[in-house]
Amino acid sequence: MKKFLQRFYIILILLFLYVPILVLIVQSFNAGKSRAKWEGLSFVWYEELFKSSAIMDALKVTVTIALLAAVISTVLGTLAAIGIYAMKKRPQALMMTLTNIPMTMPDIVTGISLMLLYLFFRVDRGYWTMLLAHITFDIPYVILSVMPKLKQMNKFSYEAALDLGCTPGQALRKVILPAVKPGVVTGAMLAFTLSLDDFTISYFTTSPLVQNLSTLIYSQARKGIKPTLNALSALMFITLLVLLLIVNRRTADNHPVKS
Amino acid sequence: MTSFQAPAWSVPVLIAAFVIFIGLVIFYVIKSRGIRRPLFAMPYTAWVALFTVIPCLLIAYYAFTDAAGRFTLDNFKSFWDSDYEMNRELIEMGMDPAELGFGRGTVNVDTLVYSLWMALLCTVICLALGYPAAYIMADREFRLGATIVVLFIIPMWMNFLLRTIAWMSLLEDNGLINNFLASIGLPRLRLMYNSGAVLMGMIYNYLPFMVFPIYNVLNKMDLKYSEAAMDLGASPIKTFLKVTLPLSLPGVVSGITMVFMPSVTTFFIPRVLGGGNTEMFGDLIERTFLTANNWNVGSALSLIMMVLILLSLGLLRKVDPEGEGEGML
């Protein structure tokens, strides 16, 4: 009985989480445009999806920004974590506080503060300003993923490598980087997904001429979303799901998936 | 209305400062013959200065100045009285706003109170729904916990705007729920365009953030404590109330933080699922900046928001000083 109740409750909660997504995926195969009426199975929205230049442009912007932001923030963030970890106590505390600011600030305030930065310095908002904003909110997550790995490491192995004749560069490559690699990978994945899904900060840091998927969806939300966008998100969802399954299979015994 | 902007020469000066900074770092590296590890953080330090510190200072700057760049507290008065600027102009023209029937504009304060209330409701409901879920998932006999965690993460990959919009097709007057009700002979309900729909959208989006930290703490908890309590004769309910619940408090605290903070500033959900009078503070800030184009009042509102968030964070930290619950995300 207890087991049944437990399962029943979990299934109810999962249903709550998945019903809208299932609805969305089903709609993408609906021949008609109506959200509520089923008019037969069709792939017409998938065909239209690849013909729509607005969506394809937005997809390009979203993916390239997510990739670039993930790579740049991973490099900067990993270096920063190594540097901050080696700092003396006071500057270290200061840097960690500054790192925590963007994470505790509501997205909308982060977005607006960056918008004010661009407006203040009369920088035209567009692709590059959005990229800079994405890197800015990604870096703290990379630092916070790498930091615990540095703390787990033996404090003296870096110095030992230097004593044994490594140059600092070699010690970095051969001692520190292998030890923090799992944290770097987690950070990079986190940065990529956060950037892929971001709406609020992108909304304030780009112009209506350069849209990513989220801002495109937003601009269409009031007029009524076309099923083409459902088709696209269904495709992206399934791609990510398959990627996760592959990654999970390959690293099943390494470490569990981190949110 | 345009607010004060930096003069055109400021960008070259900024770039020059950046180049000089890089130069100094390179000079230091050459002088000390080799890289010291703290220097690795230098690019990030420059980045933080430009993209975190300066933007925060800009918000403070705009909040305390008027359109001409003079110091003023009017923006905060405008928060308290959203018609403050209009009333002031009336007074300057020699009229008495009270006589004309204009009082204090309460929109801004009302929106803030409404947002806090909605966020509180959302947090309480998420806790009520999420704690049992986390408790079941962490149950050693349940075994499927780790899989369910992944199942909680997966929906978050679907674009959050589209997920929210998907609720429209369920809740609409002609939506799936109402069609279902009609087909079994029940009257149709008005589910959309009210506070209830907005609240539901918020719970839907933030529930996982309540479940993860609680699950994390419960999962790591040493079973010996609750077993000892049982052995010493405590009933299961008493064991839960006196042992498990207090031990899981850090997870509850970070769950509350992670749900309450974003829900106060919820943006977009009220626009899609809400009706005329369900605007929340996030939407108000956005509207003040982009529609009313008033950077100064908008900055004041953002500053008030930030202070509120910091205050509640400080309060929550008192309950969980070590931040133990922050294992995930």
Burial letters A123-155, b for 16+ CB under 10 A, else e: eebebebbbbbbbbbbbbbbbbbbbebbeebee
Tokens of B2: 């345009």
Q: Would you say residue A92 has pLDDT above 70?
A: yes
Selected for mutation to probe chain A from B37, B204, B281, B308 (highest A CB count within 10 Å) is B37
Of A24, A98, A259, Cβ closest to residue B166:
A24
What CA–CA distance (Å, rounded) separates A187 from A86? 20
Cβ of B104 under 8 Å from any chain A Cβ? Answer: no
- Rounded to an integer, the average pLDDT of A84-94 is 89
Instruction: Give the other-Cβ count within 10 Å of A174's Cβ.
Output: 11
B235 Cβ contact list (under 8 Å, min separation 6): none
Average pLDDT over residues A214-229: 82
- pLDDT over 80 at A179, yes or no: yes
Helix (H, G, I), strand (E, B) or coil at A193: helix
Domain ranges of chain B: 7-63, 107-319
Are A132 and B37 a contacting pair at CB < 8 A? no
In a domain, A142, yes or no: yes
Amino acid B327 reads: G
- Flag if B38 and A217 touch (Cβ within 8 Å): no
Q: By CA distance, what is B178's nearest residue in A?
A: A36
Structural domains counted in chain A: 1
Give the residue on B whose Cα is nearest the Cα of A144: B329
Per-residue pLDDT for A176 more than 80?
Answer: yes
* Positions in chain B short of pLDDT 70: 1-3, 32-35, 320-329
CB-CB under 8 Å, B59 with A240? no
Q: Do the Cβ atoms of A18 and B155 come within 8 Å?
A: yes
Tell which A residues from 184 to 213 touch B, by Cβ distance under 8 Å: 193, 197, 199-200, 213
Interface membership of A135 toward B (CB under 8 Å)? yes
| Contact between chains at B37 and A237 (C-beta distance less than 8 A) | no
| A151 in a structural domain | yes
Of residues A21, A163, A77, A205, the one with CA closest to residue B43: A77
Model confidence pLDDT, tens digit, residues B198-238: 999 999 999 999 999 999 899 888 888 888 888 998 888 88
Kindly tell me if the per-residue pLDDT of A101 is higher than 80: yes
pLDDT at B329: 39
A237 closest CB neighbour out of B59, B157, B328:
B157
Whether A221 sits inside 8 A of B161 (CB atoms) is yes
Residues in CB range of B165: below 8 A, 6 or more apart: A217, A221, A225, B272
Does B59 lie at the interface with A, CB-CB under 8 angstroms? yes
Rounded CA-CA distance B295/B304 in Å is 14
For residue B65, list its beta bridge partners: B71
Residue A201 banded pLDDT, cuts 50, 70, 90:
very high
Selected residue of B1, B9, B45, B52 to mutate for chain A interface (largest A Cβ count, 10 A): B52
| pLDDT at position A251 | 61
**Nearest-by-Cβ selection for B161 from A35, A168, A214:** A214
Q: Tell me which chain A residue has its CA closest to the CA of residue B36.
A: A168
Domain containing residue A66: 51-223
Between CA B168 and CA B273 the distance in angstroms is: 7
Interface of B with A in 194-213 (CB under 8 A): 204, 207-208, 212
Cα separation, B73 vs A95, whole angstroms: 32
Interface test with A, best of B161, B163, B303 (most A CBs within 10 A): B161
In chain A, residues 4-63 whose CB comes closer than 8 Å to chain B: 6, 9-10, 13-14, 16-21, 23-24, 27, 35-36
Q: Across all residues in chain A, what is the average pLDDT?
A: 87
Query: Cβ separation of B176 and A36 shorter than 8 Å?
Result: yes
**In the structure encoding, which two tokens stand for residue A214, read together?**
């989220």
Separation of alpha carbons A58 and B145, rounded Å = 37
Does residue B285 sit at the A interface (CB-CB below 8 Å)? yes
Question: Which residues of chain A neighbour B139 with C-beta distances below 8 Å?
Answer: 6
- Which domain CATH number covers A216? 1.10.3720.10
Average pLDDT value for residue range A227-250: 81
pLDDT value of position B183 = 87
Average pLDDT (A59-75) is: 95
Say if A40 falls within a structural domain: no
Cβ <8 Å between A17 and B142: no
Q: What is the pLDDT of residues A202-216, one digit of tens each?
A: 999 999 899 998 999
Chain A, 154 to 183: residues with Cβ < 8 Å from chain B are 158, 167-169
B114: number of CA atoms within 13 Å, CB side? 21
Residues of A in contact with B299 (CB under 8 A): 112, 116
Q: Note whether B287 contacts A: Cβ–Cβ < 8 A.
A: no
pLDDT at B56: 93
A239 in a structural domain: no
Which of A27, A37, A109, A170 would best serve as a mutation to test chain B binding (most B beta carbons within 10 A)?
A109
Query: Is A29 a residue whose pLDDT tops 50?
Result: yes
Q: How confident is the model at residue A252 (pLDDT cuts 50, 70, 90)?
A: low
pLDDT of residue B143: 77
B133 residue type, one letter: A
Contact (Cβ atoms closer than 8 angstroms) between residue B218 and residue B131:
no
**How many angstroms separate the CA of residue B215 from the nearest CA in chain A?**
13
Long-range contacts from B314-321, C-beta under 8 angstroms, 24+ separation = B316/B253, B316/B254, B316/B256, B316/B257, B319/B249, B319/B253, B320/B249, B320/B250, B320/B253, B320/B254
ipTM for the predicted complex comes to 0.85
The pLDDT assigned to B12 comes to 81
Nearest chain A alpha carbon to B284: A108
Q: Which of residues 253-272 of B touch A (CB under 8 A)?
A: 261-262, 264-265, 267-268, 271-272
CATH number of B107-319: 1.10.3720.10
Residues of A in contact with B313 (CB under 8 A): 104
> How many residues are listed for chain B in this entry?
329
Cβ–Cβ below 8 Å for B153 and A259: yes
Smallest Cα distance from B139 to chain A, Å = 10
Q: Please give the pLDDT value at position A250.
A: 67
CA–CA separation, B304 and B38 (whole Å):
35
